[in-house]
Amino acid sequence: MNDRTHLLAPDVAFRPAELTDASAFATALTRNRAYMRRWEPVRPDVFYTVEGQAARLTALLADRDAGRAMPWVLADADDRVIGGFTLSGVERGPFRNARLGYWVDAGHAGRGLATAAVVAVCEAARDRLGLHRVEAATVTENAASQRVLAKAGFEQVGTAPGYLHINGGWRDHHLFQRLLHDDPPAG
């Protein structure tokens, strides 16, 4: 474990994603493909391969190195990927904002892992990135994800019609935010 790894349960670690996770992500996303279909965009088959995940992680890690994203992994005791959490679209200046996306393996849902990881993401957004706000959006029917956000201190701020193209169609989403602090923007 490194200094950025947190145990969220005795058998679950939350740590930064790395390129070496490509195979584990491909396996986990393939295993959860049907489970997540109603909440996700339609993806090409290559997305579910090691090569597709390596390309996705390469881009995410480049964004991380440029200060535009922070990707994390939920991993079980055998270091198998059981979830992914990403802050993306990090903006500086007076906005100091980022967007949060996440998923947890069907076999580990309902354990409080998503809530604990979302809280950890928000702490990193505040403490390491100096962000003021994190936003998230859920398909209006995704009550479980909405509960995660509420438990992690997010508030619903609106509903956006046709917000994202999910599961083959433009879907309405509830919009959420969590304000992290009231300090003025740094530098």
pLDDT digits (tens, 9 = 90+) for 116-128: 999 999 999 999 9
pTM for the full model? 0.93
Nearest to 121 by CA among 94, 90, 156, 162: 90
pLDDT digits (tens, 9 = 90+) for 141-160: 999 999 999 999 999 999 99
- DSSP secondary structure of 39-58: GS----GGGGSHHHHHHHHH
